[in-house]
Amino acid sequence: MKATAKNTNAGLLIEYTVENNTDREHYLWDLMIKYEGKTQKIDHDGAYVFFVAPKTLNVIRAELPLPTAFDVARKEIPFARLLLPGGTLTGKVKLPHPVTEFSPYYAPPKEENQEKAVASEVVLAVGWTPVKPGMNISERDVGGEKVYAIRGSWAPPYKELLQEKFAISVEVTVYKEDFERQMPLR
């Protein structure tokens, strides 16, 4: 994976390119889910976002483990894109300033439960996996886009992570309490 990150007037912009230099198909778990009313869409700009004191902002496009503090009725699993042998896929994350921590399992922080911080490094993590026995891969149409849903049970590691680190200063709105900052499920 090759990636760049920069601050723009609109926010933090991260662009990445992933190349498959193997002879096997891989899947990138980088299509984030959003809802417009009850309609499921793809959020091409979004990511899960966690600040780790004193300086790191994790920007994640991969499946998260379930929270440990409470039960969740429905797990959010990003959709995947097929990365063919010898192929290339590109993606981008656009997060408005100040960047706000985000998990699919928590409501946005209320004003009394947030504070400001400054990250001096940003880490992009994108999940990927080769096809493995036990995977149930189905093609779906989400908002007019062809995507893949991967379910089932297969031997660990469940997915691998591509990571890129950037030395960049970013203002962050963080939760003061009751917020689990988790790394992707592996």
pTM above 0.85, yes or no: yes
Which residue is it, tokens 């998990």? 103
- At 120-172, the pLDDT tens digits run 999 999 999 999 999 999 999 999 999 999 999 999 999 999 999 999 999 99
* 11 C-beta neighbours (distance < 10 Å), count: 15
Helix (H) / strand (E) containing 59: strand 56-61
Tell me the two tokens of residue 45.
């700009």
Is the CA virtual torsion 92, 98, 103, 105 positive or negative?
negative
Is the CA virtual torsion 76, 82, 86, 89 positive or negative?
negative
Q: CA 136 to CA 150: how far, in whole Å?
A: 6
pLDDT tens series, the chain, 186 aa: 999 999 999 999 999 999 999 999 999 999 999 988 888 999 999 999 999 999 999 999 999 999 888 888 888 999 999 999 999 999 999 999 999 999 999 999 899 999 999 999 999 999 999 999 999 999 999 999 999 999 999 999 999 999 999 999 999 999 998 899 988 977
